[in-house]
């Protein structure tokens, strides 16, 4: 059973770069059957898709964040990562990683989520 | 971006009630729609994919329907453990977007 776990700093200063890692267990990130995604949720608000990466390294990003987002993969560690630059208070949110089927385009499973607060 | 509009935003119902949530897409998305619920402090969980297919292990009291721009999600007999916020999500094209959520409470 595949499980995902987010990790990274819970506090980031304004204008700095938010960095998170998602560790995949119970399955290989090299599998050609899946994309690996990041989704975020500000407190009390809805869900926003940030972007995804395929095991080959191919990425797609939400245009609303594209200029600030980088998603990368480390297949040797079975991890993928998110970097969001020039953060502001509006980037404060719970960040989730999730698996998306390559042809089965739904998110399952999800990580438990990690709260990142942007504050000086 | 395709806009997903859910209604109602919140709903209060009694145990055993039939509950229906609707999701309207701003353009035709065929059946490229998924439903999740999210319990407080937890990650969303997939319930329905491709508009009407029940995810493995999800109780059969949950069901989905619709195509094109209008979709429904139904709980046939509300249980106390169904208290959550429910989201629809399209995957017709990128960026994927979610509905704003429907918060379901017990009367």
Q: Ramachandran region of residue A20, left (φ > 0), alpha (ψ -120 to 50) or beta?
A: beta
> What's the pLDDT score for residue A103?
87
Q: How many interchain CB pairs under 8 A, A with B?
A: 48
Cβ within 8 Å of A, B 67-86: none
> What's the pLDDT score for residue A32?
80
Instruction: Report whether pLDDT(B98) > 90.
Output: yes
**CA gyration radius, chain A:** 13
Cα atoms found within 13 Å of the Cα of residue B10, Cβ hemisphere only: 4
Closest chain B residue to the Cα of A107, Cα to Cα: B46
Q: What number is the average pLDDT over the span B59-63?
A: 98
Give me the residues of chain A with pLDDT under 70, please: none
> What's the pLDDT score for residue A117?
98
Instruction: Report whether pLDDT(B100) > 90.
Output: yes
Adjacent-strand bridge partners of A21: A7, A81
> What's the pLDDT score for residue A102?
86
> What's the pLDDT score for residue B8?
98
**Any CB–CB contact under 8 A between B95 and chain A?**
yes
Looking at A1-120, which runs of residues are DSSP E strands?
A: 3-7, 11-12, 18-25, 34-41, 48-54, 59-61, 69-74, 79-84, 93-101, 107-110, 114-118
**Any CB–CB contact under 8 A between A105 and chain B?**
yes
H-type alpha helices, chain B: none
């Amino acid at each position: 059973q595949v499980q995902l776990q987010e990790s990274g700093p819970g506090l980031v200063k304004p204008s700095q770069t938010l960095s998170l890692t998602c560790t995949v267990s119970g399955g290989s990130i090299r599998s050609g059957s899946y994309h690996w995604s990041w989704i975020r949720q500000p407190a009390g608000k809805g869900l926003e898709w940030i972007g995804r990466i395929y095991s080959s390294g191919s990425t797609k990003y939400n245009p609303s964040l594209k200029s600030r987002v980088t998603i990368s993969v480390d297949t040797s560690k079975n991890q993928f990562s998110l970097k969001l630059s020039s953060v502001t208070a509006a980037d404060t949110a719970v960040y989730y990683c999730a698996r998306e089927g390559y042809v089965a385009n739904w998110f399952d499973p999800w990580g438990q989520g990690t709260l990142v607060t942007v504050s000086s | 971006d395709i806009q997903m509009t859910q209604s109602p935003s919140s709903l209060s119902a009694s145990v055993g009630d039939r509950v229906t949530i609707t999701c309207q897409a701003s353009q035709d998305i065929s059946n490229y729609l998924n439903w999740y619920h999210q319990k407080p402090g937890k990650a969303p969980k997939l319930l329905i994919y491709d508009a009407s297919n029940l995810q493995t292990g999800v109780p059969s009291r949950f069901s989905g329907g619709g195509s094109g721009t209008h979709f429904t999600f139904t709980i046939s007999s509300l249980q106390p453990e169904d208290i959550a916020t429910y989201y629809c999500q399209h995957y017709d094209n990128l960026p994927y977007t979610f509905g704003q959520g429907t918060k379901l409470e017990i009367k």
